[in-house]
Amino acid sequence: MSGAATAAGALPGRPRRRSRTLASQRRWALRASYAALGAFVVTFLVPPFYMLMTSLKTSAEISAERGNPWIVHHPTFANYLYLLTYPNFRTYFLNTAEVTVLVVAITMVVSVLAAFGLARMGFWGSQIMATGVFLTYLVPASLLFIPLFQVIGRLRLINNLWGLVLIYPTLSVPFCTWIMIGYFSSIPKELDEAALCDGATYLQMLWRIFIPVAKPGIIAAMIFAFTVSWGQFLYPMAYLYTSNQMVLTVGIISDLVRADVFAWGKIMAANALAAAPPVLVYVFLMDYYIAGLTAGATKG
Amino acid sequence: MDVRHELAGEHDAVRAGPGAPARPAGGLRRLLRRRSTIAFLMCLPLTLLIAGLVVYPAFYAIYLSMLNRHMTAFVGLGNFAFLLRRPTFQMVIFQSCLFAVTAVVFKALIGFVVAHLMHNIPGRHQRIWRGLLLVPWVIPLALSTLTWWWLFDPSYSAFNWLLNRLGIGSVPWLGEGWIARFSTIAVNVWYGTPFFMVMYLAALKSVPEELYESAAIDGAGPAQKLVYVTLPMLRNIIAITVLFSLIVTFADFDIVRILTAGGPQDMTHVFATYAFQVGIQSGDVPLGAAVSLFMLPILAVAAFFVLRGVSRRSREVAV
């Protein structure tokens, strides 16, 4: 598709017509690309679009089943207003925010320290450990949630947000460490030598030189930890069961879905509000977000 | 690779560095000042975290899976044998593989096509298109799956409204075994394709333009360019992305749990949802642990190849 039309005109022996055909074919290829991309974008955005449309409908409009369900006939913000004053939803939102802030903070401290130690200082076995960190990143949540259920139970943290604060870093720290190893390794060695000559300690070196220089990596790692913690579903589903401890992903499902069969307007409004923070982070920090996304394949 | 280079000069740097002045005796103090000791201390939180909450639970899972339901007696591999004999679990194995393989194949193909289309349009326009195409990946999966559930709703499905408009009967998206299997896979493809697109696009940009030019001079057509230039250059990144996605897809929980909870007739269960149902909901912790452990061999093989691909790629990037 891509280079398809561009090269097709490059036939030998017809020098005069070549450039014109080439140009027009290139133009057509471009138009076709835009059309195909447009089709993909429309397809990909169907669920978010429908979510927003439903969130603006009243329960009556949804259950009446008259007219096109894809557009809203009598838009209302009632669902959003309801949620803003609904104490349970506020609890879920604040719980999620609390867990996420703590997890991001813990993740950054642990992974920046470890990445500095592994990438810049090293000790016997640090190479193996860097590999081990990457392997840990490949361990999915669904492999360990049952033994962790027992571990969390023994720590008396079942149905407790602190259980999540304790476990989520296992999902975020390995990848963040990996990103930071990549960024730290790319910093010229002359910088640390200069710092050591000036009598800086290693922690000062990390704080004054490495963290400021590797700021893009820090932001990418923070975004990763944020999205992991905000969207996790399996652990809260397995370990939380009362609404005062729940986070958004499970709270919306267990609270609004069970309560009323026709509460779809409210559910979708809750969905939109819950998805807003990650989407906003993405909108404003897209380049860092994508840098973090593609960092898994290389070191940094 | 990088780390090893640093290791080489490490000890000399400590002795030569004026930052470490002549220190009085005291073995412990000297040990604490040593570069490698500080590095080890810096890695200590990470080590404790991984040892306590990843490595220990992994071995604990193996131990758990060999206990009886009430965790009072050791049954060896009894749970595994019991599971393998159960038709439901045989279906879970089949469906997990079907789900992961089909979804990854479609994600890889669609992602490849979309990345090529993106690569085709001028760079200044790519940003906005990429931004829009990545939205499925950005919304937390549990939340967007809830929207899909609503789109698949038996009585209010907006898809069925469209189909009815076209004169086609309603489809029981989640009510009939194979259709429900298709629906869960479709949601996974929708969610995961942007990731492939972004990975491929980044890789496509790194292919030197001269390669295409010299291929064109040699008379290569578009298909030949794809086969002899693009694919060899992208081979490693494709392998990493596919294997990585295979791990994540294979271990997926959110989509199946929210859309069908394993139904109808357990036909859509994958390892993760079945382990949840057995281990958490029915309270048979050892059996649930055994179900999860069935994922381990496949994950280990995929992880091995991902690691090999990544270290190869790091070497390529470094060169």
Mutate to test the interface with B, among A100, A110, A143 (most CBs of B within 10 A): A143
- Examine residue B264 and say whether the peptide bond preceding it is cis (omega within 30 degrees of 0): yes
Mutate to test the interface with B, among A44, A241, A258 (most CBs of B within 10 A): A44
Name chain B contacts of A73, Cβ cutoff 8 Å: none
Express each pLDDT in A172-182 by its tens digit: 999 999 989 88
Q: Which two tokens stand for residue B17?
A: 């560095």
What's the whole-number average pLDDT of chain A?
86
Contacting B residues, span 121-180, partner chain A, CB-CB under 8 Å: 121, 127, 129-144, 146-148, 150-151, 153, 156, 158, 161-162
Name chain B contacts of A223, Cβ cutoff 8 Å: none
Q: What is the pLDDT of residue A63?
A: 80
Residue range A18-22: mean pLDDT, rounded: 67
Q: Which two tokens stand for residue A295?
A: 């960092």
Beta bridge partners of B67: B74
Mutate to test the interface with A, among B5, B40, B49, B319 (most CBs of A within 10 A): B49
Alpha-carbon Rg for chain B, nearest whole angstrom, is 26
Name chain A contacts of B49, Cβ cutoff 8 Å: 110, 169-170, 173
CA B298 from centroid of its chain's CA atoms: 12
Tell me if A190 sits within 8 A of A96, measured CB to CB: no
pTM: 0.86
ipTM for this model: 0.86
Neighbours of B106 (CB within 10 A): 18
Q: How far is B202 from chain A (nearest CA, A)?
A: 8
Q: Is B299 on the interface with A (CB under 8 A)?
A: yes
Express each pLDDT in A98-152 by its tens digit: 999 999 999 999 999 999 988 888 778 888 888 899 889 889 999 999 999 999 9
Contacting B residues, span 248-267, partner chain A, CB-CB under 8 Å: 248, 250-254, 257-258
Crossing angle between the packed helical segments B177-206 and B87-120, to the nearest 10 degrees = 40
CA A197 from centroid of its chain's CA atoms: 40
Neighbours of A216 (CB within 10 A): 15
- One pLDDT digit (tens) per residue for chain B, 319 residues: 344 444 343 444 444 344 444 444 566 667 666 778 888 888 999 999 999 999 999 999 999 999 988 888 888 898 999 999 999 999 999 999 999 999 999 999 999 999 999 988 887 888 889 889 999 999 999 999 999 999 998 888 889 999 988 988 888 999 888 999 999 999 999 999 999 999 999 888 888 888 888 888 888 888 888 888 888 888 888 888 898 899 999 999 999 999 998 878 899 999 999 999 999 999 899 999 999 999 999 899 988 888 888 888 777 666 5
Indicate the Cα dihedral angle A243, A248, A250, A251, nearest 10°.
30
Q: Is B279 on the interface with A (CB under 8 A)?
A: yes
Name chain B contacts of A267, Cβ cutoff 8 Å: 146, 150
Whether A18 shows a pLDDT value over 70: the answer reads no
Binning chain A into helix, strand and coil, the percentages to the nearest 5 are: 80, 0, 20
Q: Look at residue B110 and give its three-state secondary structure.
A: helix
Tell me if B239 sits within 8 A of B104, measured CB to CB: no
Q: Cβ contact (<8 Å) for B141 and A233?
A: yes
Of A134, A238, A289, the CB nearest to B307: A134
Contacts of A108 (CB under 8 A, 6+ apart): A176, A218, A221, A222, A225
Tell me if A220 sits within 8 A of A228, measured CB to CB: no
At A262, the pLDDT band (50, 70, 90 cuts) reads low
Q: What is the pLDDT of residue B137?
A: 93
Tell me if A137 sits within 8 A of A174, measured CB to CB: yes
Cα separation, A151 vs A189, in Å, equals 42
Tell me if B36 sits within 8 A of A127, measured CB to CB: no
Q: Cβ contact (<8 Å) for B257 and A286?
A: no
